[in-house]
């Protein structure tokens, strides 16, 4: 059975950068499933799979189509129960929703402020129009105004990651001794920052850097292959 | 076998308020274990159990003494494996450390700014001296200066709880359909705010209020019995 992941790219299809798609790249490797990744520009997504979803990731697994990163993770866990678990049981599955909330509402906003202008520069002309309009509306500022405050956003990042640093005082991964989907949720956020801006903007010696490097090594260095 | 929980109070032993101790009150009820709670003022803690721990909660279970809320939860899970689980498996246990980090480093700081002066007013004279010195050093301001900015701290609270609100869009508890220790970690934070200031300072209709009320109802209304 063939498995396809539709993800997001700018003009360079070899540099997919979406945090939500990176969660699924890691989840598919975690499950030991072979897949073909098809990165799409923003404005091509509505044309994929006859308009199945306005957003990526989308996974086609044989006849089955699934969108939304968390729904895909739940699907993979159910469809491949004999492969390594993404959640480590029902408690882990439930708690991953709070981890998703932490990533999207505490970590993503500061990453957006650091990376939004760089993301714009990676896109083709049609995507740039869509991206500028939608993001400037959401942020209430021009991309250039956000970019001008980049240094203060970078300075704000470490405090937002303090929960992760706290956890790392006790164990190497959010999943415990080995990673689970909860790790990939936050890995996706920092991988998005790394690919779009060239750095995760944290000082050497920060335990979060150590954890992120461990994640980049996972699954034969799948995360490190894109820079 | 008799079980004792040493917790924290001000001048009124009927109003224990520590977030970390409330986690354990809920965890003990969750496990269906009878216990005697002995609330202590800050400056009496070092005298309990021959100076076993500088902080509460401390649990004595027969001959066994355990301190630190997370260590106590781990102890209860291991010592009472046939009672309802606090973690829902290994993935839930591991993720609870990130939830603890989120509570302590994203939610607690804003609660401290709202409640610190009220906490001071609940304490006896010796405790007030200890509390003022240690907290003013940590906060870099007098308690009165922090209290003067209380309205802005209250205004900042809802955004820090957005991860919880996000999760509540999918399920009624962090534990899923029923609560787990991860819920008690964040319940402890808001219960601390409620007991020390009389309110959790969130608008009616906020899903976080709905979740907090569900937590107050748990275990025969154990949380609601203290106001």
Q: What would the CATH number be for the domain defined by B3-79?
A: 3.40.30.10
- Mean residue pLDDT of chain A comes to 98
Model confidence pLDDT, tens digit, residues B25-60: 999 999 999 999 999 999 999 999 999 999 999 999
Nearest to A163 among B91, B106, B167 (CB): B106
Cα distance between residue A160 and residue A108, in whole Å: 10
Q: Are strands A58-61 and A3-8 parallel, antiparallel or unpaired?
A: antiparallel
Cα distance between residue B170 and residue A177, in whole Å: 28
State mean pLDDT over B84-89: 98
H-only helix segments in A59-168: 69-79, 90-102, 108-122, 125-139, 143-148, 150-160, 162-168
The three-state secondary structure class of A139 is helix
Q: Would you place residue A1 in the very low, low, confident or very high pLDDT band (cuts 50, 70, 90)?
A: low
Nearest to B75 by CA among B88, B90, B60: B60
State mean pLDDT over B180-205: 98
CA distances from residue A118 to A17, A108, A143, B116 in whole angstroms, order as listed? 11, 15, 9, 42
**pLDDT greater than 70 at residue B8:** yes
Task: Give the distance between the most distant pair of CA atoms in chain A.
Answer: 50
Nearest to A18 by CA among A35, A43, A41: A41
**pLDDT greater than 70 at residue A16:** yes
Model confidence pLDDT, tens digit, residues A135-188: 999 999 999 999 999 999 999 999 999 999 999 999 999 999 999 999 999 999
Model confidence pLDDT, tens digit, residues A93-127: 999 999 999 999 999 999 999 999 999 999 999 99
Q: How far is B97 from chain A (nearest CA, A)?
A: 5
Q: A167 in contact with B at a CB cutoff of 8 Å?
A: yes
Which residues on chain B are in Cβ contact (under 8 Å) with A90? 88-89, 92, 176
Q: What would the CATH number be for the domain defined by A90-221?
A: 1.20.1050.10
Query: How many Cβ atoms sit within 10 Å of the Cβ of residue A4?
Result: 16
Percent residues over pLDDT 70 in chain A = 100
Which residues on chain A are in Cβ contact (under 8 Å) with B161? none
Cβ–Cβ of A88/B102 closer than 8 Å? no
- Sorted by where each begins, the domain ranges of chain B are 3-79, 90-221
- End-to-end alpha-carbon separation of chain B, Å? 30
pLDDT at B94: 98
* Cβ within 8 Å of B, A 97-116: 97-102, 104-106
State mean pLDDT over B175-194: 98
**pLDDT greater than 80 at residue B222:** yes
Nearest to A57 by CA among A180, A184, A172, A178: A184
pLDDT at A220: 97
Nearest to A96 by CA among B103, B27, B175: B175
The angle at the Cα of A24, spanning A18 to A26, to the nearest 5 degrees, equals 105
Q: Are strands A36-40 and A3-8 parallel, antiparallel or unpaired?
A: parallel
Cβ–Cβ of A105/B166 closer than 8 Å? yes
State mean pLDDT over B116-140: 98
Cα distance between residue A43 and residue A10, in whole Å: 10
Q: How far is A89 from chain B (nearest CA, A)?
A: 5
H-only helix segments in A37-83: 69-79
* ipTM computed for the complex: 0.97
Which residues on chain B are in Cβ contact (under 8 Å) with A98? 95, 99, 102, 163-164, 166-167, 174, 182
pLDDT at B1: 60
Q: Would you place residue A60 in the very low, low, confident or very high pLDDT band (cuts 50, 70, 90)?
A: very high
**Interface probe, candidates B91, B93, B178, chain A, greatest A C-beta count within 10 A:** B91
The three-state secondary structure class of B119 is helix
């Amino acid at each position: 059975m063939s498995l396809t992941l539709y993800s997001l790219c700018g003009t360079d299809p070899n540099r997919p950068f979406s945090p939500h798609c990176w969660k699924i790249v890691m989840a598919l490797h975690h499950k030991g499933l072979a897949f073909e990744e098809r990165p799409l520009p923003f404005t091509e997504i509505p044309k994929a799979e006859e308009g199945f979803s306005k957003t990526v990731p989308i996974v086609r697994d044989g006849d089955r189509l699934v969108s939304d990163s968390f729904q895909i993770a739940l699907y993979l866990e159910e469809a491949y129960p004999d492969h390594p678990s993404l959640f480590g049981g029902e408690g882990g599955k439930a708690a991953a929703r709070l981890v998703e909330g932490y990533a999207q509402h505490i970590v993503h906003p500061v990453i957006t402020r650091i990376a939004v202008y760089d993301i714009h520069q990676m896109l083709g002309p049609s995507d740039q129009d869509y991206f500028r309009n939608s993001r400037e509306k959401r942020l209430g500022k021009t991309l250039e105004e956000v970019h001008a405050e980049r240094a203060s956003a970078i300075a704000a990042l470490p405090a937002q990651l303090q929960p992760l640093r706290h956890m790392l005082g006790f164990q190497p991964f959010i999943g415990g001794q080995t990673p689970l989907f909860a790790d990939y949720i936050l890995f996706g956020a920092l991988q998005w920052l790394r690919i779009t801006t060239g750095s995760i903007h944290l000082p050497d010696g920060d335990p979060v850097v150590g954890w992120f490097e461990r994640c980049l090594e996972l699954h034969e260095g799948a995360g490190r292959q894109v820079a």
